[in-house]
Amino acid sequence: MVVAANSSQTAAGAEGRRPSASARGAYEWTLLVVASLFGIVSVWFVGTIIWQSVSTFQSQGLYLLTGVNWVPGAGTGQPSQYGGRAMIIGTIETSLIAMVIAVVIGTGTALAINFFVPQKMKTFVATVVELLAAVPSVVYGVWGMLVLAPWFLNTIGPFLSSLPGGTAVLGTTVAGKSLLLAGIVLAIMVLPTYVAISREVIGAVPHELVEASLSLGATRWQTLWRTVIPTARIGLFGATSLSLGRAIGETVAVSLVCGGSVGTTFKPLEPGVTIAGWIATQWGEAVGSDQIGALFALGAILMVVSLAMSMFSRRLVAQQRRAAAVV
Amino acid sequence: MTQITSSSEQITSGEIRAHLRERSAATLRRRIFVSKVMTVFCWAAIVLAAIPLVALLLRLFVKGIPVLLKSGFFTQLPQQPTLFDQTNTGGVSNAIIGTIAMIVYATLASVPIGIIVGIYTAESDSKFASVIRVIASTMVGAPSILMGLFAFGVIVVQLKLGFSILAGSFALSVLMLPVLISSTEIAVRNVPTTLREAGLALGAKPSTTSLRIVLPAATTGIVTGAILAISRAVGETAPILLVIGGAYAITWKPNDPGSALSVSMYQDVSSSYDSLRDQAWGIGLLLVLVIFVLSFAARIWAARKQKVQR
């Protein structure tokens, strides 16, 4: 958490480094060898996941991305069908719901902590937020399943369905567990992370800027919206992409509240599945069959997406930093 | 000609001024209104964010404390409740031992490597170091379940060691490594350059400077980072769920299948027995307490150390 927030700063701050030593002693060699070991582990990591999923990519082809059926063929004499459409769409849908809620509420919270909460309370609130970010995701999942799901079934679900067009757009909930609930649990789960980082980046906005804006006659909100948020946008983007990464890869919390059925409609109030959740719930029966390969293939998709996202956000942040430096 | 225009200009500019004054008053009213609405929104956001989190912690404590106080929760093996004896859940002693064992093995494996790689990325400015840096920061954000897949692929498939505590600790150590690397790198970089230069100026070798001057100065940051990495691993569920195997016995042996608190919690909550689902709250509370204690310890220790250094 704190680590992640800081690591972006190190990337920017060009700190003084010692002149590189020309001669390598035992110390330098140890560092180099262990670092190479880590490099090898990371290559092994990517390689293993790709390697285990190759056979499924070959047998299923594009069906893995677009197919609707998930039918292991073992014992039936039929070829296995592994379609990942429901998992992929479910992952996108739950993450989107989570990010919309988390970014809107989280940014508001971060602004409030920095500008509205009394100075004395600030450290306390910040500590609480960082502690909450450390609560394991399985706890959020259990709470969502035992507390939120019944409430969703009896109160929220029927209410949303009764809105005009509610059933057509949102569907009806059967057990409370649904993609919408999964999105909300994810939002609650990533909120502390998002707030912890965005509080820091918003707090780092130079006070002169805020004062200049206020002295020009801007209202408090105009200052926040037109000065503070644009100044902090790079950091806010970093917080968003980190939270999105957590939401996409979250496994146990989602699998406890998403309903776990391979659907075709993807209405928010109906049950669904996500990639990571599906891997965890199918794992027990998959071991020893060709379904393992299919789950590895889903894992490979997840890995490629998260790799691409982190590269994209790194590039964008670097670009923005350069642009900011020029101005 | 000039007079006429100037007089007409005066009239119109007066009108314009009145008009502008009126309009600016209207804009000001609107701006203030919007500002007030958005201030209310920010307060609403903080309340909206706090409600579920407070509710969650409250529920966790209210439901969890009775479970923790139940006799045998820490010492007994789990029991499967039956229809006739629905509250007979036993304890989670095997999961406690399993979690401790896995954390210890994972820490032993990952902390030394993570710290050394972190020192390397902090001190070297070669191309390879920046590659390692990028890999580490990418892996920090990688979904944790992928570490479970990796551990399965390596320990179970490639090395044929089976579902085991070892496989779980392998997954956890791969998970902790990038976190440790980043936190160590930051800690080492935060040591003032002047310290290092002072060491070099006294004629010490670069390696001696690093080991005897820079590292001691960075210890606080490194240890804090390590504690935070450990506390992250304690509650991690997905990766070990895939490879730990699940066992109803107490075992420290790396090659035995084991159990873990987070995994037991995940399995208990899916049970149809109320007693088991209640027990999940107790395990959750235990996890949260351990993690809070760890991160508090890290904070207090770091704060005290800093004071001493000043």
Check pLDDT > 60 for residue A90.
Answer: yes
Proportion of chain A above pLDDT 90, given as a percent: 44
As a whole number, the mean pLDDT across chain B is 87
pLDDT of residue A43: 95
Residue B168 three-state SS: helix
Q: Do A134 and B55 touch (CB under 8 A)?
A: no
- Give the mean pLDDT of A78-86: 85
- A13 pLDDT band, cuts 50/70/90, is very low
* Number of residues written out for chain B: 310
B232 has a chain A CB within 8 A of its CB: yes
CB contact under 8 A, B235 and A138: yes
pLDDT attached to residue B2: 47
For B164, phi then psi, to 5°, come to -160, 170
pLDDT at B115: 94
Express each pLDDT in B199-253 by its tens digit: 899 988 888 888 899 999 899 889 989 998 999 899 899 999 999 887 777 888 8
The pLDDT of residue A144: 93
In this structure, the dihedral spanned by the alpha carbons of residues B65, B67, B71 and B76, taken in order and rounded to 10 degrees, is -130
Q: Does B291 touch chain A (CB under 8 A)?
A: yes
Instruction: Specify the CATH number of the domain B93-309.
Output: 1.10.3720.10
Please give the pLDDT value at position A23.
60
Q: What pLDDT, on the 0 to 100 scale, is given for residue A182?
A: 93
Average predicted confidence (pLDDT) for chain A: 85
Inform me whether the pLDDT recorded for A21 exceeds 50.
no
Find the CB nearest B179 among A3, A17, A249: A3
pLDDT for residue A14 is more than 90: no
- Ranking A32-36, A164-168, B42-46, B260-264 by mean pLDDT, the lowest is A164-168
pLDDT at residue B272, as a whole number: 80
Q: Does B257 touch chain A (CB under 8 A)?
A: no
B122 pLDDT tier (thresholds 50, 70, 90): very high
3-state SS of chain A? CHHHHHHHHHHHCCCCCCCCCCCCCHHHHHHHHHHHHHHHHHHHHHHHHHHHHHHHHHHHCCHHHHCCCEECCCCCCCCCEECCHHHHHHHHHHHHHHHHHHHHHHHHHHHHHHHCCCHHHHHHHHHHHHHHHCCCHHHHHHHHHHHHHHHHHHHHHHHHHHCCCHHHHHCCCCCCCCHHHHHHHHHHHHHHHHHHHHHHHHHCCCHHHHHHHHHCCCCHHHHHHHHHHHHCHHHHHHHHHHHHHHHHHCCHHHHHHCECCCCCCCCCCCCECCHHHHHHHHHHHHCCCCHHHHHHHHHHHHHHHHHHHHHHHHHHHHHHHHHHHHC
Mean pLDDT to the nearest integer, A27-54: 93
Rounded Cα gap, residues B282 and B287, in angstroms = 9
A-interface mutation test, from B160, B208, B266, B277, most A Cβ less than 10 A away? B266
pLDDT over 60 (residue A20): no
Predicted pLDDT at B150: 95
* Closest CA–CA distance from residue A110 to any residue of chain B (Å): 8
What's the pLDDT score for residue B1? 46
Confidence of residue A8 (pLDDT cuts 50, 70, 90): very low
Average pLDDT over residues B162-166: 90
Q: How confident is the model at residue A326 (pLDDT cuts 50, 70, 90)?
A: low
Smallest Cβ–Cβ distance between B262 and the set A21, A136, A303 belongs to: A136
Residue A131 is encoded by which pair of tokens? Answer: 């502690």
Residue pair B144/B232 in contact (Cβ under 8 Å)? The answer is no
Closest-CA residue of chain A to B286:
A139
- To test the contact with chain B by mutation, choose from A8, A27, A38 the residue with the greatest count of B C-beta atoms within 10 A, namely A38
For chain A, the structural domain boundaries read 85-287
Q: Which of A30, A256, A306 sits opposite B116 (nearest CB)?
A: A30
Q: Which residues from A are below 8 Å from B34, CB to CB? A: 219, 221
Question: Which of A18, A27, A306 minimises the CB distance to B200?
Answer: A18
Say how far residue A272 (Cα) sits from the centre of its chain: 18
Which residue of chain A comes nearest to B41, CA vs CA?
A108
Least confident segment among A21-30, A34-43, A142-151, B23-32 = A21-30
Instruction: Give per-residue pLDDT as tens, B54-70.
Output: 999 999 999 999 988 88
Smallest Cβ distance to A27: which of B211, B288, B291? B211
Contacts of A193 in chain B (CB under 8 A): none
Round to whole Å and give the CA distance between A191 and A189: 6
B140, B179, B265 ranked by CB distance to A142: nearest: B265
Average pLDDT over residues A160-181: 80
> Average pLDDT of A114-129?
87
**Model confidence band, residue B308 (pLDDT cutoffs 50, 70, 90):** low
Q: Does residue A16 register a pLDDT over 50?
A: no
Question: Given pLDDT bands bounded at 50, 70 and 90, which one contains residue A11?
Answer: very low
Interface check for B106 against chain A (CB to CB < 8 A): the answer is: no
Region B170-176: what's the mean pLDDT? 95
pLDDT-derived band at A1, boundaries 50, 70, 90: very low
pLDDT tens, B182-203? 999 999 999 998 998 998 999 8
The pLDDT tens digits for A215-262 are: 998 888 999 999 999 999 888 998 999 899 999 999 999 999 988 888
CA distances from A116 to A111, A214, B44 (A): 8, 15, 12
* Fold assignment, A85-287: MetI-like fold (1.10.3720)
Cβ pairs bridging A and B (under 8 Å): 281
